Amino acid sequence: MNHSNLTDDERELARLVRDFADEVVAPQAYEADRTKTLSMDVVRQMGEMGLFGLPFPEEYGGQGGDYFALCLAIEALARVDQSIAITLEAGVSLGAMPIFRFGTEEQKKEYLPTLLSGERLAGFGLTEPEAGSDAGATRTTATLDGGEWVVDGAKQFITNSGTPITRFVTVTAVTGETDGRKEISTIIVPNDTPGFTVEPAYDKVGWHASDTHPLTFTGARVPEGNLLGERGRGFANFLHILDEGRIAIAALSTGAAEGCLEAAIEYASARTVFGEALATRQSIQFMIARMHQRVHNARLAWHHAARLRDAGRPFKTEAAVAKLTASDAAMDNARDATQIFGGNGFMNEFPVARHYRDSKILEIGEGTSEVQLLVIARALGIA
């Protein structure tokens, strides 16, 4: 990994997380993937390292760092296990960050300390069977009744929603109408709420060790004070959260692309074909050189977007560029690494096979590649 543009503290953080990834995360990755089990021990150790609290102020139990630091950690983890990397990314960007950004002081003090320590996790309920990027199609409702919100509806593809330490999910719901348009607000729903059901986990193509469930709400009642942020601003607020999250997904994608590059270099150097190392073949050399180019460009893209975000400057378009560039890099590098590995690349015990399955979702989650293209086109004034 190129650390030339990092501060000493950032370089040390990247090294520490990279060592943790190699020594703790990587050895359990195959078995976790095979059994579709999220290691709560690994999550606990990440919490003890302070990773869940990286971009938050110390007053709430955070590390006082920034979003760039979080993304460095996510990239380092994704080299060896995307499931663990997305657990951290979602735990921060989709679990704790909405509380920090839009919560009342009381909500922050109640929820943030255990989220930032990694003792608890939280989910983010936006996507529905009929709605995702299309906010107007949201069908989940929340109606005030006697000082309580009554939530009815369903959400799908919700990360960190059913772990043993999940405390709550925040869900977008229709709370009324304004000028004929749906008023969408955000409600905090604790996991032990009667009427809230975490359905059985999905049988996914990849990210097998990441916790992902559909959710249903049938007359789930929570206090009126569980409204998160201003009423009617739920979807708008979450769009801001998604912009930040796209930088983190770009960092995760970069880590995955780098993991494939490292594996390809090692394998091509050791594999003998017709009496010579596979790496002596110019076609393989060129393929690996392209892989390096993709990692380099992806890293530059997310670094730029993260620096803008942390400087308080507009970053929406740069986040879209970063996610598009990096997710393409992850998918392309996974394909090329698998090709270099040949038959071994089709065996799940090899990391490149897991990256091949895992990387496709990077072109879909937190805004599809097509959505990123639309964001960029709008910024150019042509959409």
Q: How far apart are CA 338 and CA 344, in angstroms?
A: 8
Q: How many alpha carbons lie under 13 Å from residue 119 in its C-beta half-sphere?
A: 7
Listed in sequence order, the residues at least 6 apart from 332 whose beta carbon sits closer than 8 Å to its beta carbon are 257, 290, 291, 294
* Structure tokens given for 150: 């009554």
Q: How many alpha carbons lie under 13 Å from residue 261 in its C-beta half-sphere?
A: 23
Query: Of these residues, 130, 266, 366, 370, which one is catalytic?
Result: 366
Q: How far apart are CA 21 and CA 297, in angstroms?
A: 23
Sign of CA dihedral 14, 66, 332, 321: negative
Tokens 């690994």 found at: 42
Classify 357 as helix, strand or coil: helix
Q: How far apart are CA 186 and CA 173, in angstroms?
A: 6
DSSP labels for 281-293? SHHHHHHHHHHHH
Tokens 């943030």 found at: 112
Reported in sequence order, the residue ranges of 258-303 that DSSP labels E, i.e. its strands, are 272-273, 276-277
Q: CA-based angle 303:306:309, to the nearest 5? A: 150
Is 10 tagged catalytic? no
Amino acid at 183: E
Burial call 75-84: b when 16+ CB within 10 Å, e when fewer: bbbbbbbbbb
Report which DSSP code applies to 93. I
Q: How far apart are CA 234 and CA 187, in angstroms?
A: 9
User: Among all residues, which ones are annotated catalytic?
Assistant: 366
